[in-house]
Amino acid sequence: MKITLEDVKHNPAVRAYIQKSDESLKAIGFTEHSFAHVTKVAVTARDILSRTGHCARDGELAAIAGFLHDIGNLVNRNRHETSGALMAFQILNNMGADVTDIATIVTAIGNHDEATAFPVNDIAAALIIADKTDVRRSRVRDKETIALDIHDRVNYAVVDSRVEVIREGMEIRLTLSIDTEICPISEYFEIFLSRMILCRKAAEKLGYRFGLVINGQTMM
């Protein structure tokens, strides 16, 4: 069966796992990883593949992978990409999904975390870019932690963020506006440089280069 993002979004188990995963991450001080994050990742991943000339089904698989990619946090943050891939396999199998679709989605989820990630296929590449570029103020749960936590500070400093596919220049570009009174641009690179390098590899997998523009200045 060719399942869709809407099928997955309305699955009771999926919704419970996402909610409980985010509760666990909140308890250990992580930024928001709930429905706002996974929905944004799903939409962005599908949009990237659509704009890079992929078929609609590839975009749907990327969206499903994006929505499910963080459910492994229910088990533990450590190696959540592996536990999440196994959980996604069981969920999709129970839903009667096509086995090839399951394999593609599970592979993407299992390769999205920067500690072990690699853009092994185009679905994984789109998921990586969509996940690693979700930097925004609304992901910060508690403003009181901004001065103490660099991740919260950097996310809170981002007042505008957008991912664009520029086909004329064969570039996938992340454009950020950062309030430097909250944090200097150097702090962004302190915690996100490895993610941006991973985005570059993912863009190259899709036949594009990755560009990063912060406050009007080209960084990559």
Domain boundaries, the chain: 5-218
Give the DSSP H or E segment for 211. Answer: strand 209-214
Tens of pLDDT, residues 7-43: 999 999 999 999 999 999 999 999 999 999 999 999 9
Whether 143 has a pLDDT exceeding 90, the answer reads no
pLDDT value for 26 = 94
Tens of pLDDT, residues 81-99: 999 999 999 999 999 999 9
- Residue bearing tokens 């999926």: 14
Whether 185 has a pLDDT exceeding 90, the answer reads yes
pLDDT value for 146 = 87
What is the sign of the dihedral through the CA atoms of 103, 109, 111 and 116? Answer: negative
pLDDT value for 144 = 82
Tens of pLDDT, residues 96-109: 999 999 999 999 99
Q: Which fold has domain 5-218?
A: Hypothetical protein af1432 (1.10.3210)
Q: Which amino acid is at 166?
A: I
pLDDT value for 173 = 98
Residue 115: partners with Cβ closer than 8 Å, 6 or more residues away: none
Per-residue pLDDT band for 61 (boundaries 50, 70, 90) equals very high
| Edge-to-edge strand list for the sheet holding 217-218 | 158-166, 171-178, 209-214, 217-218
The per-residue b/e assignment along 76-87, b for 16 or more CB within 10 angstroms, e otherwise, is ebeebbbbbbeb
pLDDT value for 186 = 95
Residue 77: partners with Cβ closer than 8 Å, 6 or more residues away: 24, 25, 28, 30
Average pLDDT on 159-175 reads 97
Q: Which amino acid is at 199?
A: C
Least confident of 61-70, 140-149, 156-165, 196-205: 140-149
Per-residue pLDDT band for 216 (boundaries 50, 70, 90) equals very high
Residue 198 Cα to chain centre, angstroms: 12
The answer to whether the CB of 38 falls within 8 A of the CB of 18 is yes
pLDDT value for 67 = 98
Record the pTM. 0.96
Whether 198 has a pLDDT exceeding 90, the answer reads yes
Strands 158-166 and 209-214, bridge-based pairing: unpaired
Could you give the C-alpha distances from 80 to 1, 35, 36, in angstroms and in order? Answer: 27, 17, 19
